[in-house]
Amino acid sequence: MAEKVEIVVASIHMNDGEKNEMEMTYTGEYEQVGMVHIIKYNEYEDDKIVNYNTMFIKEDFMRVVKMGQVTSELIFIKDENTQTTYCTPYGNIEMGVKTHLICTDIAKNRINVKVLYSMLVGNDVISDTSMVVIIKKCDKCS
């Protein structure tokens, strides 16, 4: 049975020496299937759902699937390169993801994930990102 959770996604993106910080908080649902922790949440714009998101987390692994205005699948595994296609209203963009570090801390009512990664187009790094995801049980979430 799914439980209500609060999801905080904080990131720092470095592009061409320019720093861009973001922090978003969402309400979603959590369930565990075997060793995999599954978190589902929606992104809204003007009170309309624009993206459906699902995170799959296990020790030192995270997969993020985004479907909606932008569709993508990001897979983070330490020291591995993975490929993704960002499907946008303006066309598709092929990207590489190089995960430098992923640390997962899974406790009873809280999951913390830290990921350091680079986004690439071909062999060119277009951004370096530090991302922290915090998922915690939320009894007051609606």
Residue 41 CA from chain centroid, whole number: 11
Residue 79 CA from chain centroid, whole number: 17
Residue 5: φ, ψ to 5°:
-140, 160
Mean pLDDT of 80-95: 92
What pLDDT, in 10s, does the model give residues 31-40?
A: 999 999 999 9
Residue 4 CA from chain centroid, whole number: 18
Structure tokens at 132: 């922290």
Instruction: Give yes or no for residue 142 having a pLDDT over 80.
Output: no
Instruction: Give yes or no for residue 20 having a pLDDT over 80.
Output: yes
Amino acid occupying residue 108: K
What pLDDT, in 10s, does the model give residues 41-72?
A: 998 888 787 889 999 999 989 999 999 888 99
Q: How many CB atoms lie within 10 A of CB 52?
A: 14
